[in-house]
Amino acid sequence: MPNWVGEMFGAVDMMSPNRFVSYLTEDAIFKFGNGPAVTGRANIEKAVADFFASIKGLRHKIVNTWEVGSSIFCEIEVTYTRHDMKTVVLPCLNLFGMKNGKIKDYKIFIDISPLYAPA
């Protein structure tokens, strides 16, 4: 696994949208679960900041990674903390399409609905 993968997830866990988007190309495409695709660093930064506002915190545990050509696959376990302080642990898979050492195409395969389900 490239070192920057752990660093990037660290930026996400610190809930730093600005640091997170520094790992993306300027024209990156970001798709989170069933949400619409978001294009461009500025738009992605806003979308990620809006998501962060909906939760208290999060922590990523990298389970496994695979590199295939210009793609990196990361099997992740994410622990979300809701504003009511309850935690929800969800499995997910992230797919990074790389270009010149940055993420050009970022897809997150996750069912996020349990995070917002009534307690």
* Percent with pLDDT over 90 in the chain: 96
- What's the length of the chain? 119
pTM comes to 0.93
> Under a CB-based contact definition with an 8 Å cutoff, are residues 92 and 109 in contact?
yes
Q: Which fold has domain 3-111?
A: Nuclear Transport Factor 2; Chain: A, (3.10.450)
pLDDT of residue 1 exceeding 90, the answer is no
Distance CA 32, CA 52 (A): 13
Taking only the tens place, the pLDDT of each residue in 69-97 is 999 999 999 999 999 999 999 999 999 99
- Give phi and psi for 50, each to the nearest 5: -65, -40
